[in-house]
Every structure is written in structure tokens, then in C-alpha cells.
Structure 1
């Protein structure tokens, strides 16, 4: 199944429909927040007031996430109010046009999980399932999109530093010994 998702041209065709659907969900949510205004303070305070907890014991299921909301997200709610709508919009655009598709799907999944950890079910499980399929498909999900042109360009023009066998870092653009003098 993995090989089919990651390499098959017919799977790539089906993934176009899937990523456009998921992308539209993200784009629609982000555009509404950008257009109508967005304030996450109420949502964050609600997540703190009503955390996801075990019904029998009352123990928090995600205590570290609650600490994150309380000590990082809520005090920086002005930044969150920009990052969430912009992130949703960019994830939607990336999925719709097929540009950096796997990356867009990853960040969409990250937001879905954060919303779930905060106690909001809504469409998040459905988007996690569909977005996960897109992310697992990797570059094949963007084969019929901007990734067809973008990924080869990035592979050719962006070099990543890798470790050599001895553990030492190898230079990205090594200078030949004769040119160093």
C-alpha cells in the first residue's frame, strides 16, 4: 500500500482530489479567520478551564499540553491570533496547488492534533486521517501540482549539509585544495 501511495501515477491522480478537499477545508477556515477577525483567547481559556481528563479519576490526559497553553500560548495570544489563521491559510494553499504538499500536510496534522489536545473534536479526526494519507504519499501527492516543478528545483539548488562516515561535518561547497592558495 505504501509503494502504491508513494509511487503510483493513479494514486497521484486520486491524491489530487484528496489534497484539494483537505486544502479547501484549511483554506476556508483560515480565510474566515483572517477576514472576520480571530481571537484565540476564549478558546485557550476554555481549554484550560475544561481540560481533557479521565472521567473516572479526573486526571489530565495531556498535562504538558495544558501547561503549554497556560504558560506559552495564552500569554502570547496576540502571536497565536496571527499564526493560526495564517497557518491554516498557507496549509490550504499548499495542499490545493500541490506546493510543498507533504510539508503542508504535516503542519495541518500538527494543528489538528493541537486542537484535539485542547479538547476540540469537530472535524479534526477526519482531517487527520485524510491529511495523514497525503503526508504518507509524500512527493507523489504533489506530482500533479506545483511540486512537479518545485521539488526538482529545490533538490538541484538547495544543498543540505550531511555528516561524513567519521562523524565529521562535510562542507556544503568544499573549496578545492588548489583554489585555496
Structure 2
């Protein structure tokens, strides 16, 4: 009899030495295809939000040509008012944005933002690499929040985190249903070392009563 098991050397174990598994509720929420319809609704809503935000930028010369729209957003974000709190809380992030302003990076970065939002939205709607798209979306939400723009970014970020956790089933009603099983065959070849154990019946020691 032979079996392939993951090497448990680096796994978290219980006091009895068994590998700690996800609780049943987490497995049901994030790994069960019966909830895929719920994730479909969430990802389409988030995806449509990203697409609509991108379409407004793609048709605006201030985003696609001069970058003045992003320059204005960054300039307002780095301001330190005489009274009250600045939009950016952390100095290191303010310095980063100021450096982007001083170098004129808003001209090309505005295009990255617009096309990035579009690609994230389309990927979420189609169910294509949902986990990756949700991660990139959450990263953009985080940057907006860090720059002082809360708006709906917190809600979008929460939805993205849930989709990241449910990456295996969130795209089940989408392209991931066919793509993930195929690419999964590839990454498992380079994943954690597997141990093959072979037990022959004539090697099992006999126990005398």
C-alpha cells in the first residue's frame, strides 16, 4: 500500500502531534463549492465597482494624458494643515507620495491606476484568478485609505479579503473552475516535499497474543 502525504515537518501540530486542521466552519465558508454562489455575488459587485471607477478615468485626459487628476489627489493628500490632522497619518507614506510628486510620476502612474482598476474588475467579474485579483484590489484600497480617502475603500477591502480567503471556490462559477485545476497540477510539483511510504504485509511484525 502506498500513499502520498505532505511533509508535516513545518506544519502546526496539536499536543497529540497531529497536524492542526482548519475548523469545519472555515472549511465550509472558504473551501466548499456550495457557497460559491455567495462569492459570485460579492465578486461581481466588487468587480463592477472597479470597472465603473476605471471607465471614468479611461475617458478622462486628466488621467490618461497629463495625470493632473492624480497629481491633484496626491497634492491634497500630502498637505499638512495649520490646524487639524493631515490626510496622511504616517510620515513615511507622505514622504513616498511626495517623492512621486516631485519626480512627476503621476503622469505614468495615473495610467497604471486606471488600467489596473479595469483589469481587477474584469478578472473579478469573469472569475479569473480571483485570489490574485482580490489581493491587488485590496492593495489599491489600502493605498487609497493610506492617502486619506476612506469612502468605500474599507468596504471594498473587506470584500477583497473574504475573496482572498475563499480563493479556491470564489471563482467556481467562473473561469477559475477550469483554470485552477490545471495550474494546480503545476504548483503541486514544486510545493512542499512529499513523502512516499510503502508498507508490505510481509514486513509487518507479528504480535504474539
Q: Which structure: greater helix fraction?
A: 1
Aligned residues of 2:71 and 2:101 also touching (Cα < 8 A): no
Whether 1:68 aligns to 2:68 is no
Partner of 1:20: 44
Q: Return the alpha-carbon distance in structure 2 between the equivalents of residues 159 and 4 of structure 1.
A: 23
Deviation, 1:2, is 2.2
Partner of 1:32: 56
Quickly say closer, same or farther: Cα 1:74–1:35, change in 2 above 3 A.
farther
The correspondence for 1:4, drawn from 28, 40, 57, is 28
Deviation, 1:31, is 1.6
Partner of 1:148: 177
Q: Return the alpha-carbon distance in structure 2 between the equivalents of residues 47 and 103 of structure 1.
A: 28
Larger Rg, first or second structure (1 or 2): 2
Q: CA RMSD of the aligned region, Å?
A: 2.6
Q: Return the alpha-carbon distance in structure 2 between the equivalents of residues 85 and 50 of structure 1.
A: 27
What are the Cα deviations for residues 115-159 of structure 1, in whole angstroms up to 9, with x where unaligned? 000000111111111111111111211111111111222234568
TM-score (norm 2): 0.69
Unaligned stretches of 5+ in structure 1? Answer: 165-181
Q: Return the alpha-carbon distance in structure 2 between the equivalents of residues 129 and 17 of structure 1.
A: 14
Aligned residues of 1:44 and 1:74 also touching (Cα < 8 A): no
Quickly say closer, same or farther: Cα 1:144–1:163, change in 2 above 3 A.
closer
Partner of 2:130: 101
The ranges of structure 1 where at least 4 consecutive aligned residues each deviate by more than 3 angstroms after the TM superposition are 156-164
Aligned runs of 1:115-130 on 2, under 5 Å? 115-130=144-159
What are the Cα deviations for residues 31-67 of structure 1, in whole angstroms up to 9, with x where unaligned? 211122313110011111158x984xx7x62111111
TM-score (norm 1): 0.79
Aligned residues of 2:36 and 2:171 also touching (Cα < 8 A): yes
Aligned runs of 1:44-63 on 2, under 5 Å? 44-50=74-80, 55=85, 61-63=89-91
Partner of 2:196: none
Equivalences, count: 161
What are the Cα deviations for residues 87-121 of structure 1, in whole angstroms up to 9, with x where unaligned? 10011001000001010000000000100000001
Whether 1:81 aligns to 2:110 is yes
Unaligned stretches of 5+ in structure 2? Answer: 1-24, 194-209
Partner of 1:172: none
Q: Which structure: greater strand fraction?
A: 2
